[in-house]
Structure 1
Amino acid sequence: MGDVSKNEKRYRTGLDVRRSVLGDPHVDRAGDAVTDFDRPFQQLITEAAWGTVWARPGLSKRERSIVTLALLAALGHDEEVAMHVRATANTGASRDDICEAFLHVAIYAGVPAANRAFKIAKEVFAQMDDAHA
């Protein structure tokens, strides 16, 4: 029983952190789209990524956001890059921070990966700017 309550606590923590980073609308849409097929996956990422890693005290949300963007860009995960660029509105990572992260990507993971990430970020920034205009 100890594991169940620990997992439930980690899930609740993860959901809170996920909402604080990605925003309620995103998390609500993801929750509405869950099926029996992917429910275990959603539980896993909520507990492991958000309830364990993102909830750790060692780095700020801003710092985690920068690291996450660099990793996603290096791996070519375009949809996740876009999502996490949008999330910087909640984490405090600035556009300058994102630029610096993508410059690191260019050197350590390749110019094509960074070029794609810059393109995605510019598109997301334009959408964000239009939404606030």
Structure 2
Amino acid sequence: MAENPKQVGGGRKMFGDFAPKLAELTDDMLFEDVWNRPELSPRDRSLITVAVLTAGGNTEQLGSHLGRALQNGLTQEELIEAITHVTLYAGWPKGMSAMGVAKSVFTNNT
């Protein structure tokens, strides 16, 4: 089995000087520990994260995680399908908002 690329957070870069503890937890716990556990691949973790962010209506974080999902091997088509699927369970407004973020990310990436 191929080794997965190490997942690295950006907490210190974003908030290190403003909210150092949050930056530390983001980088050291969320990414260094949880995202790099071998029980799930980064691809699977990205798919789960996109689904949860969509279901929760957390579009502020969705754009960066869609980019990470592409880096972790998911395709635009798979991500669009995941958002479509989640929409029917989580609610139309959340799904439409998430799809707007995906459209913006994907059309700016090409």
In structure 2, the residue matched to 1:96 is: 77
Residue identity over aligned pairs, in percent, reads 30
Match of 2:96, SS state, is helix
In structure 2, the residue matched to 1:11 is: none
Give, in whole Å, the separation in 2 of the partners of 1:104 and 1:82: 18
The TM-score with structure 2 as length reference comes to 0.83
| Structure index of larger Rg | 1
The TM-score with structure 1 as length reference comes to 0.70
Kept after mapping to 1: 8 A contact 2:70/2:76: no
Unaligned runs of 5+ in 2: 1-5
Greater helix content: 1
Q: RCO higher in 1 or 2 (8 Å CA, sep ≥ 6)?
A: 1
Unaligned runs of 5+ in 1: 1-15, 20-26
**What RMSD, in angstroms, separates the aligned Cα atoms of the two structures?**
1.9
Q: Structure 1 residue runs of 4+, over 2 Å off?
A: none
In structure 2, the residue matched to 1:31 is: 13
Kept after mapping to 2: 8 A contact 1:17/1:50: yes
* 1:41 maps to which of 22, 46, 53: 22
In structure 1, the residue matched to 2:92 is: 111
Count of residue pairs brought into register by the alignment:
105
